[in-house]
Amino acid sequence: VDTQDYPPEAVREVLLNCIVHRDYSFSGSTLVNIYDDRIEFISLGGLVTGLKMETIFIGVSQTRNPALAAVFYRLRLIESFGTGIEKIQQSYLDTAARPEFIAVYGGFKVVLPNVNEVQAKEFSISETQGCYGFADEKDKVMQLAAMQGYVTRKQVEDALQVKTTKAYMLLQELCDAGRLAPIGVGRSRKYISR
């Protein structure tokens, strides 16, 4: 059975975002770097002023080029604003791989992992290191966060088979180390990768 290396929906969404959301005041090109285990898309412009990655992950969208976005919407190439990252993440739900989103001043990078390469690596790791193949519990928590863009305390409890106090302690240590950032309060609190 052949499995595509990259979900076509994810590649389509990233390419559309590179066109619609880039900053055209820069003369540089959008970069697409293809490796054996991933494709990296690097677009000029970064996030629109006032937005953070946390706001992007909850579905907030502010287009830098509203006229261009309107044209793509009328051509039915984009369905609605603020759904691109969610669609990219959804396209990887049935796989062990998870996309990465990195925002820096003046640039935005999306890394789409090669589904077949990740599965091959996981198989070889699990043979030598057990079910997960991670060095410690914190690495497992970070992998959970990377898989879906966030992690919850309950997910940490279930994945590591630990009590609430231990899960909270691990999440707090990762936040203190700057590896995770909390969003929300109470039971709806999530932790996203920094």
60 in Cβ contact with 84 (< 8 Å)? no
For residue 180, pLDDT over 70 is answered with yes
Taking alpha carbons only, the member of 147, 134, 140 closest to residue 192 is 147
Q: How far apart are alpha carbons 14 and 26 in whole angstroms?
A: 19
pLDDT of residue 121: 57
Residues composing the chain: 194
pTM over 0.95, yes/no: no
Q: For residue 46, what are the contacts with CB-CB under 8 A and spacing of at least 6? A: 23, 103, 104, 105, 106, 107, 108
Cβ atoms within 10 A of the Cβ of 176, count?
Answer: 9
61 in Cβ contact with 141 (< 8 Å)? no
Report the range of poorest mean pLDDT among 45-59, 86-100, 117-131, 138-152. Answer: 117-131
23 in Cβ contact with 64 (< 8 Å)? yes
Amino acid identity for residue 111 in this structure = V
What strand order describes the sheet that includes 100-104?
31-34, 38-44, 107-113, 100-104
List of domains in the chain: 8-116 (3.30.565.60), 135-193 (1.10.10.10)
For residue 144, pLDDT over 70 is answered with yes
For residue 52, pLDDT over 50 is answered with yes
107: β partners: 44, 104
Q: Which two tokens stand for residue 113?
A: 């992992």
Cβ atoms within 10 A of the Cβ of 2, count?
Answer: 5
Taking alpha carbons only, the member of 57, 193, 194, 41 closest to residue 112 is 41
Radius of gyration of the chain (CA): 18
Of the chain, the percentage scoring pLDDT greater than 90 comes to: 18
pLDDT of residue 148: 79
How confident is the model over 69-90, as a mean pLDDT? 82
Of the chain, the percentage scoring pLDDT greater than 70 comes to: 88
